[in-house]
Amino acid sequence: MTAGIRRSLDYAVVFVAYVATARMGLSFDALSGIATTVWPPTGIALAALILRGTQLWPAVALAAFAVNLPRGIPAWAAALIAVGNTLEAVVGASLLRRFGFDRQMARVRDVLLLVGFAALVSTLISATFGVTATALAGLERTESYSVFWTVWWVGDAMGDLLIVPLICVWAWPWRLSGRPLRWLEALLLGGALTLVSMIVFRRMLSVRAVDLIRGTYAIVPLLIWAALRFEQRGTTAALLLVAVVAVTATASGGSYFAARTPHERLLMTDCYMAVTAVSMLMLAAALAERRSAIGARDEFISIASHELKTPLTALKLRLTAAIRTQALRAPRDAPAEEKLGRSLAAAGTTTDRIVTLVDDLLDASRLTAGRLALHIEVVSLPELVNDVVGRLRDQAAEAGSAIEVDTPEAIVGRWDRIRIEQIVTNLLSNAMKYGGGKPIRLSVHIANGRVRVDVKDAGAGISRADQARIFQAFERVTTKSRVGGLGLGLYIGRQIAVAHGGTLSVDSKPGQGATFTLELPVETSVVPSSSGG
Ligand code: ADP
C-alpha cells in the first residue's frame, strides 16, 4: 500500500469512527442536543493521533465540524467547537508523546500519564471552547453553564479513559491464542461479566434476595479476573462491556444510580466507571510491570551464568594444564617451564575477567541501593587515558583495532580516578567488541570549563531506539554475532558521570560507527567519602 493510500484510509477511518460514535453519544440525553456525558469521539481522536501521529488532526477537525454543524448552531460556532475538539486531541497526544507514553500501557506511569494529561487536562480545552461557543451563539439551555461545562468535560474525560486504552492496546499486532481452554475462559468471563452487570445496572432478576445484595462491588472480582488472566487487552475489553451495560441501562430508566435527571444519573455512572477504569488499568499495568521485571531477572540470570561460566571453564582448563606441567618431575625442561608460565598468565587474565564481571554486579547493586561513593582526588586525565590505553593494547591488537589517542599535554581536575578509569576502559572495550576490528579514536579536549573524552569507533553503530536503552541496567542490543557482556558497563558509566556532575552520551547512526562522549566538570563538587565505593 502506498503512503498516500494509507494516509487517505487513516483519514477515512478516523472520520467515520468519529462521526458514528458522536451520533451514538448525542443520542444519550444530550444537553441542548450538544453536550453529553457519553462521548467516545474524544478517545477515538486521541488514540488516532497517538498511533498515527498528530498530522492526522485535519480528519478530527473535519469530523468534529460535520458532527456539530447540523445541531442548530451557526457554522462559526460549530467551527469553534471543532477547534476545541481538535486542540484537545493535539495537546493530549503531544503531551503524552513528550512524556514518553507507551501505547501498550504496561507501566503504571502510562496510566498516570493518560489520566493526568489526557483525561483531566486536555479535556478542559474542549469543554471550555464548547461552552463558550454555545454561549456566544445564544443556544437555549435547560441547565446552568457550570453543569453544561461539567457534562462536556466528563463526557470527554470518559472518552479518553475508556476508548484510548482500548484502541491503543488492541491495535496490531494480533496473535490469536491457539489454546481452546483460553477461549473457553474468555467466554466464561465475558458471560459472567455481562450477567452480573445486567443484574446490577439493569435490575435484571428482581428477586428480593438478589435485590438485597445488589451492588457495583460484585463486578470488581470479575474485572480483577480479567486483569490477572487477560492483561491489558482483557481489562480494556471488560471495562468497555461494563460501561456499555451501565450507560445504556442508566439512559433507559430503571437505573442502579438514583438521581433527578437522566444526565445526573449518567454523570454518576461515569464517575463509577472512571474510578473503576483507572483502578483496573493500574492493576493491569502493575501486573505487567511485575511480569516484565521477572522476565528481565530470568534473562539476566541466564546471561550472567553464561558470562561467568565461560571464563570459569577457561580458568579451569588453564589451571589443569598448569597442574599437569607442575607435576612433571623436577628439574623441568625449558619448554615445560614456559608452558607453565603461559598457563598461569592466562589463568591470571581470566581471573581478572571474572573479577570485573563480579565488580560490575556489585556496582549495579550498590547503585540500586544508592550507595556509590566517590573518592575525589587530583587526577591528570591524559595520564589516566594513556594508562588505560597501555593496559588494553594487547586486547586491542587481538581485536585487530588500533587505538589512536589524541590528548593535550595537561588536563588536571578533581575526580574519582578509579571510577573514571572504569568508564574509559568500558568505552574502549566496547569499541573493540562492537567496532568491527576497525581503528578506534580516543580524543580528550577541554571547552567551557568542561572536559570531553570522545571514543569513536567505525563499527555497526546503534539505532535511535537502542541508544535510549543501552544506558539502562542489563540492556543489550541483540545481534547475530554473540558478543559477551552483562549490559552493565554503560549503565554504571553514566551513573558515575552523573555523580561527578557530568554526562555520558552516544552519537551514532546505524552502519556509521558510534561516538561515546564522557563530559565532566573540571572540579567535582562532591564531598569526598571514605566509605563504600
Ligand atoms: P555490555 O557490553 O557488557 O553488553 P554495556 O553497558 O557496556 O554492556 O553496553 C550495552 C550495549 O550497548 C551492548 O550490549 C551493545 O549492544 C551496545 N554497545 C555499546 N557500545 C557499543 C559500540 N561502541 N557500538 C555498538 N554497540 C555498542
pLDDT tens for 459-506 read 999 998 889 889 998 888 877 667 778 899 999 999 999 999 999 999
Q: Which atom of ligand 1 is nearest to the CA of 477?
A: 16
What is the model's pLDDT at position 304? Answer: 85
Which CA distances in Å does 227 have to 119, 159, 182, 293? 21, 20, 14, 17
What is the model's pLDDT at position 525? Answer: 62
The mean pLDDT value for 161-189 works out to 92
Nearest-CA residue for atom 8 of ligand 1 = 487
| The pLDDT of residue 359 is above 80 | yes
What is the model's pLDDT at position 254? Answer: 64
The CA 398 to ligand 1 mean position distance, Å, reads: 19
Question: Which of 358, 470, 492, 506 best tests ligand 1's pocket when mutated (most atoms within 8 Å of CB)?
Answer: 470
Of residues 151 and 141, more confidence is placed in 151
Burial of 147 (0-12, 13-18, 19+ CB in 10 A): middle
List Cβ neighbours of 526 (8 Å cut-off, separation of 6 or more): 374, 376, 499, 500, 501
According to DSSP, the β-strands at 514-521 and 450-457 are antiparallel
Of residues 258 and 87, more confidence is placed in 87
How far apart (Å, rounded) are the C-alpha atoms in residues 198 and 204? 6
The mean pLDDT value for 328-357 works out to 85
Lowest mean pLDDT among 7-16, 56-65, 214-223, 284-293: 214-223
The CA 102 to ligand 1 mean position distance, Å, reads: 24
Site residues for ligand 1, CB cut-off 6 Å: 426, 430-431, 434-435, 457, 459-460, 462, 470, 476-477, 485-491, 514
Mean pLDDT of the chain: 89
| The pLDDT of residue 378 is above 60 | yes
Of residues 273 and 3, more confidence is placed in 273
Grid cell at residue 369: 541501593
The mean pLDDT value for 391-395 works out to 89
The CA 261 to ligand 1 mean position distance, Å, reads: 63
What is the model's pLDDT at position 394? Answer: 86
Q: Is-contact 171 182, C-beta < 8 A? A: no
How far apart (Å, rounded) are the C-alpha atoms in residues 493 and 489? 6
What is the model's pLDDT at position 480? Answer: 65
Nearest-CA residue for atom 12 of ligand 1 = 470
Q: Which DSSP symbol is given to 217?
A: G
What is the model's pLDDT at position 526? Answer: 53
Query: For residue 520, how far is the Cα from the chain centroid?
Result: 29
The CA 476 to ligand 1 mean position distance, Å, reads: 6
Of residues 323 and 31, more confidence is placed in 323
The CA 396 to ligand 1 mean position distance, Å, reads: 16
The CA 470 to ligand 1 mean position distance, Å, reads: 7
Identity of the amino acid at 96: L
Q: Which atom of ligand 1 is nearest to the CA of 430?
A: 20
Dihedral of alpha carbons 307, 308, 312, 313, sign: negative
Give the count of beta carbons closer than 10 Å to the beta carbon of residue 166: 22
Question: Which of 490, 505, 506, 512 best tests ligand 1's pocket when mutated (most atoms within 8 Å of CB)?
Answer: 490
Q: Which atom of ligand 1 is nearest to the CA of 455?
A: 23
Of residues 170 and 335, more confidence is placed in 170
Nearest-CA residue for atom 13 of ligand 1 = 476
How does residue 533 score in pLDDT terms, banded at 50, 70 and 90?
A: very low
The CA 313 to ligand 1 mean position distance, Å, reads: 24
Question: Which of 430, 482, 483, 491 best tests ligand 1's pocket when mutated (most atoms within 8 Å of CB)?
Answer: 430
The CA 518 to ligand 1 mean position distance, Å, reads: 15
Q: Which atom of ligand 1 is nearest to the CA of 471?
A: 6
Q: Which atom of ligand 1 is nearest to the CA of 476?
A: 14
The CA 443 to ligand 1 mean position distance, Å, reads: 20
Nearest-CA residue for atom 20 of ligand 1 = 430
The mean pLDDT value for 26-41 works out to 81
Identity of the amino acid at 509: K
Nearest-CA residue for atom 9 of ligand 1 = 487
List Cβ neighbours of 482 (8 Å cut-off, separation of 6 or more): none
Proportion of the chain above pLDDT 70, given as a percent? 96
| The pLDDT of residue 52 is above 90 | yes
List Cβ neighbours of 318 (8 Å cut-off, separation of 6 or more): 343, 344, 346, 347, 350
Nearest-CA residue for atom 7 of ligand 1 = 489
Question: Which of 357, 423, 434, 505 best tests ligand 1's pocket when mutated (most atoms within 8 Å of CB)?
Answer: 434
| The pLDDT of residue 439 is above 60 | yes
Place of cell 540492556: 475
Highest mean pLDDT out of 74-88, 295-309, 368-382: 74-88
| The pLDDT of residue 527 is above 50 | no
Q: Enumerate the β-bridge partners of residue 415.
A: 377
According to DSSP, the β-strands at 440-447 and 403-406 are parallel
Query: For residue 106, how far is the Cα from the chain centroid?
Result: 8
What is the model's pLDDT at position 529? Answer: 43
